[in-house]
Structure 1
């Protein structure tokens, strides 16, 4: 009774599905589709898999008379190549193995027209070896214990893979497979056909499943930016492209790449675009916003920019200059002084303005969907400005914070969102990477509407001033990003070169490692995209960020203008 009725699909504490196990014991089968939902780009094209026309053969063909010559002729391969594969086979197999022999539609039709039992030409899904936006999409793994913890009511398919990172994990409940599509035949104890050579095709009966997740990724732009990252040999870092109007991630490139065989080796599974990093001078944007909005400074005020933040002689001599010029040349002294003035007025002002800009705080799309309340699309690293209240009382710490050092940690996504907020004139929105969850037939199960960010934002006047200052970084005769004047679009943005406190080898200045940033938006007059490029743990004379940013902008331009 226990075996046959009560615990048939969940036997013992290990929850063994006896029906599935008995079927596996007396059959040989080849999975055509695992049944897990897939990820699509914004145009509905697959991101996580590709379909191939393949030939599948069953081992019982070796004991049959079948027109192998005709099959070989259709495939244009030697007869012995097919015969040898069948003779060695102990289970159903795809002709060509890991690099399957791909058939044309005509070849498929011709092979299936022969009506050979045990030989099938069909479409099969294969995981992409190099999936676009792989860290954003995430990875899956087989973990039976975790499967039962997540889905205690599910008894079928406990051996299937579940999402363990990225969107695969976040949207796992909708993606998890209900049924597999497979070719199956029954065998005796020696592996021979039990009921003749009758092969059955078992497929899900519900036309609405599996569900698919439609992302906001543009495959072409994603591919272009992946190539930019590889051209410049970014070992650690990446690029993030944001649609300003829709507040959607268009491309998410993170390096190092994921190694499919060892996804957690070498931190390849980490999405550095969502990781909290030291921003350096990019953070001066938030300090400037606070100082302008709080009327701490105007353009008549000048700062001694031949001095560093401690009053010593600076490496670069700019003389006494105002905030606009200070922003263009990235004068540390100016923003250290502004940070101190802001903190003296209110110890929480810098943090408050970082949040008003959408740099920190709840910047991921979140809301009530399905049976989830406050569902979050994106899992981001925890950003911070100060590590403790005590630090706000030490003006040396505050000075370092004002230039994006000390304990400041923000995500590239947060920086891109800040740039988008400024480009929109101060309007703040939460960011999404998924637009909808769709049924298999393409109809929407539910969607994610554009969502305003909570809390206060900066004034329109402050946003306008920041727009001018960000543009000056590129156009000013001494601006830090003059190189970007050659880009296909006019750019506004901010440079960042952050000291990491790390060294490559001996702790000497030449071996010090930096995080190099450029963040901005374009086209300047009609903003459409915000872009962040970051190259992590590189030496001061290596890993230049401007060519990376420029080439990414130029790639967007070519795509927008349909230039090959």
Structure 2
């Protein structure tokens, strides 16, 4: 009986002790045990898939994720024998490779962690690349792997752009989470991103998470690669020419798009806008497709009006229209003109970009009845001007071309619409229209991505797409091609006419409208543009240039934007063997560049005048430099930078005496010279300090 009572008492004591311990742990030691639980928690964490690459033509890499590794170590895993035999060599190798600690410092760091039974140790903050990882994996202890040696190569990746800020807005960028935010990175984010996996991690002392090898790991599926139609050389040409122009004209923004005529593939798309902070220019917005670049395209829209006239009326090129004294009233609105005025042929009205001439023709044939008005707007839709192109990059503006049912429609809508006002059409849409004329009436959908691949396996192909097999009749096409060629030969773009190859296109100048006091008023700000194609007799490329609100220079499409087109066309023509052969086989011949003076320093403007007179194609590699050195190439002359030296004595060797005097006297130097011809040598070396007496002797030689 006593035994039973003792046993019962013992049970009560033990139970009471257990309950007391539970209560003590639950309420007294709660914080302690929660801290331990947190420090030893297990959790599944996302393992990032490697983002796919973006390529230009010829497999030029535009964006890539460079794999790298974080080197960490569990010093408790290696067996004593492995650890003792390898630790000295390992520490010596770490010191020699990373050069951030001595061998002894590495030994203390690792050995102290082993003695303290720490399970996770970051050995260096510098990421290592794949080749380093392969090399380090052969070192003592590390060569035992993660399970027996304790080494951890934790994969991380960094998005890099090999061409820097070239086509920055077009290619796009990613955010801190690895998702695309603009450009191709955003538009094809799901394709590039892949599918993330997950792995089991253990939280250890210090708040770090250590990966644990288990069979429950879900491996990530890496993203696909994007192959674009961008030509890096063309993109650089377009960007350089555009940057030079927006700077010299003090413009707000500009864009350039180059398209392959036959396929519709976009070869270059450059966008530059002024920053508010320091007035420099960078790629921050895609004006070629976005809302800001699409308002009132101006006279480049007149091609659509011309096509409507040629397609749906019996208007002939030699018919005439009276433009008067360059002012014409429609109801309560007055239209002005920069054209010659008087009676013009239809062809002249378009070649000289007569607002009054074009609008009167359109008002006569398309603004008398509702069926006429609807016919016109329906035709603009067939030309893909009134609906989105569904371009492959997000951010495309919704085009606006009003219908007669629109509440804002008025009696002056068609006259103003016919010359590119009261509408919203993107530069890419305008270019697509002109590209259709270059492509003999076949309207192609613009595309910038050609393929999606996984290594060498093609996942998807974007073949050329025809939007409209025949956008107009052959006769309407012939008339349109005639006026576009005439614009460059005799009209508003005659300054860019080339004897080396044919250019066809149209200038555009639209005056900006602002809302003041509830009323829209025109201000002295302009959007200038030029769009066309070349060689006009066998087109290969089409191109549009838009320069917005230039503050310097002749503020017109012919004076501001057309020269940029010509510069790009010259460079493409000079480097393209096929186009040069087509030019040489026709009536347009290229000048012999062997007679052009070489290695003679000169002012770029003066040399451009000489080159134009000699019909020599030039390739400008000098950027914004005023002084250049010409180099003869096989079929062109290339301008290269000549640095005068920003401080001290400038380098005038190779200049004419006139140019040398201009440069040196601007530095307050006193010049004497001997001989005739160009500067052969100078008495004070370029870059040296200007002598106290300011004197310099130039030796001239023919």
Q: Could you say whether these structures have the same fold, taking a TM-score greater than 0.5 normalized by the shorter chain as the test?
A: yes
Alignment of 1:157-168 (within 5 A): 160-168=177-185
Alpha-carbon distance in structure 1 between the residues aligned to 2:55 and 2:407: 46
> Among 562, 573, 576, which residue is 1:557 paired with?
573
SS of 1:538's equivalent in the other structure is coil
Q: Which segments of 5 or more consecutive residues in structure 2 lack a partner in the other structure?
A: 1-37, 76-82, 110-119, 143-150, 579-632, 639-702
Is 1:244–2:261 an aligned residue pair? yes
Aligned length: 487
Alpha-carbon distance in structure 2 between the residues aligned to 1:487 and 1:503: 45
Give CA-to-partner distance per residue, 1:197-225, whole Å, 9 cap, x none: x999x99968x842122222222222332
Is the contact between residue 42 and residue 214 of structure 1 (CA under 8 Å) also seen in structure 2? yes
The aligned counterpart of 2:374 is 348
> Among 540, 548, 565, which residue is 1:536 paired with?
548
The aligned counterpart of 1:357 is 383
The aligned counterpart of 2:502 is 490
The aligned counterpart of 2:15 is none
SS of 1:450's equivalent in the other structure is coil
The aligned counterpart of 1:135 is 169
Shift of 1:513: 1.6
The aligned counterpart of 2:453 is 438
Is the contact between residue 238 and residue 535 of structure 1 (CA under 8 Å) also seen in structure 2? yes
Is the contact between residue 343 and residue 350 of structure 1 (CA under 8 Å) also seen in structure 2? no
The aligned counterpart of 1:286 is 304
Is 1:404–2:420 an aligned residue pair? yes
Segment drifting more, 276-285 vs 171-180 = 171-180
Is the contact between residue 35 and residue 180 of structure 1 (CA under 8 Å) also seen in structure 2? no
Shift of 1:26: 6.9
Alignment RMSD, CA only?
4.7
> Among 222, 230, 255, which residue is 1:217 paired with?
230
Shift of 1:229: 2.3
Shift of 1:122: 9.9
Change in Cα spacing, 1:338 to 1:35, as seen in structure 2 (3 Å) is: same
Give CA-to-partner distance per residue, 1:464-511, whole Å, 9 cap, x none: 2111111111111xx21122224965321111111122499xx9x997
Alpha-carbon distance in structure 1 between the residues aligned to 2:409 and 2:500: 46
The aligned counterpart of 1:40 is 55
Give CA-to-partner distance per residue, 1:226-281, whole Å, 9 cap, x none: 2222222364231111111111111111223999xx9xxx9965311112232111
> Among 454, 469, 485, which residue is 1:471 paired with?
485
Alpha-carbon distance in structure 1 between the residues aligned to 2:531 and 2:104: 56
Alpha-carbon distance in structure 2 between the residues aligned to 1:529 and 1:364: 21
The aligned counterpart of 1:303 is 321
Change in Cα spacing, 1:328 to 1:126, as seen in structure 2 (3 Å) is: same
Change in Cα spacing, 1:122 to 1:189, as seen in structure 2 (3 Å) is: closer
Shift of 1:120: 7.4
Give CA-to-partner distance per residue, 1:39-72, whole Å, 9 cap, x none: 22233333223648x78554889x9756676667
SS of 1:435's equivalent in the other structure is strand
The aligned counterpart of 2:681 is none
Is 1:382–2:398 an aligned residue pair? yes
Is 1:253–2:270 an aligned residue pair? yes
Segment drifting more, 115-124 vs 331-340 = 115-124
Alpha-carbon distance in structure 1 between the residues aligned to 2:302 and 2:285: 27
Change in Cα spacing, 1:434 to 1:74, as seen in structure 2 (3 Å) is: same
Alpha-carbon distance in structure 2 between the residues aligned to 1:410 and 1:399: 17
SS of 1:190's equivalent in the other structure is coil
Segment drifting more, 294-303 vs 333-342 = 294-303
> Among 357, 360, 374, which residue is 1:337 paired with?
360
Alignment of 1:34-433 (within 5 A): 34-49=49-64, 51=66, 57-58=71-72, 65=88, 95=126, 114=139, 117=142, 125-128=158-161, 130-141=164-175, 160-179=177-196, 188-190=204-206, 209-232=222-245, 233=247, 235-256=252-273, 269-275=284-290, 276-308=294-326, 310=328, 314-341=337-364, 342-344=366-368, 346-364=372-390, 379-386=395-402, 389=405, 394-405=410-421, 407-433=422-448
Shift of 1:453: 1.0
SS of 2:399's equivalent in the other structure is coil
Alpha-carbon distance in structure 2 between the residues aligned to 1:430 and 1:258: 32
Structure possessing the higher relative contact order (Cα contacts under 8 Å, 6 or more residues apart) = 1
Change in Cα spacing, 1:471 to 1:192, as seen in structure 2 (3 Å) is: closer
SS of 1:363's equivalent in the other structure is coil
Alpha-carbon distance in structure 2 between the residues aligned to 1:286 and 1:540: 30
Is the contact between residue 259 and residue 542 of structure 2 (CA under 8 Å) also seen in structure 1? yes
Alpha-carbon distance in structure 1 between the residues aligned to 2:210 and 2:439: 69
Is the contact between residue 487 and residue 553 of structure 1 (CA under 8 Å) also seen in structure 2? no
Alpha-carbon distance in structure 1 between the residues aligned to 2:261 and 2:137: 50
Alpha-carbon distance in structure 1 between the residues aligned to 2:289 and 2:381: 16
Shift of 1:388: 5.5
Is the contact between residue 321 and residue 357 of structure 2 (CA under 8 Å) also seen in structure 1? yes
SS of 1:246's equivalent in the other structure is coil
Alpha-carbon distance in structure 2 between the residues aligned to 1:209 and 1:548: 42
Alpha-carbon distance in structure 2 between the residues aligned to 1:522 and 1:481: 14
Give CA-to-partner distance per residue, 1:383-422, whole Å, 9 cap, x none: 12337536897443322222112x1211111011001110
Give CA-to-partner distance per residue, 1:109-132, whole Å, 9 cap, x none: 766665684697999543328454
Change in Cα spacing, 1:82 to 1:390, as seen in structure 2 (3 Å) is: farther
Shift of 1:357: 3.1
Is the contact between residue 310 and residue 476 of structure 2 (CA under 8 Å) also seen in structure 1? yes
Is the contact between residue 48 and residue 128 of structure 1 (CA under 8 Å) also seen in structure 2? yes
The aligned counterpart of 2:691 is none
Alpha-carbon distance in structure 1 between the residues aligned to 2:533 and 2:326: 29
> Among 456, 471, 492, which residue is 1:457 paired with?
471
Alpha-carbon distance in structure 1 between the residues aligned to 2:209 and 2:513: 67
Shift of 1:322: 0.8
The aligned counterpart of 2:35 is none
SS of 1:255's equivalent in the other structure is strand
Shift of 1:304: 2.6
The aligned counterpart of 2:461 is 447
Change in Cα spacing, 1:203 to 1:218, as seen in structure 2 (3 Å) is: farther
SS of 2:271's equivalent in the other structure is strand
TM-score by length of 1: 0.71
Shift of 1:336: 0.9
Shift of 1:79: 6.2
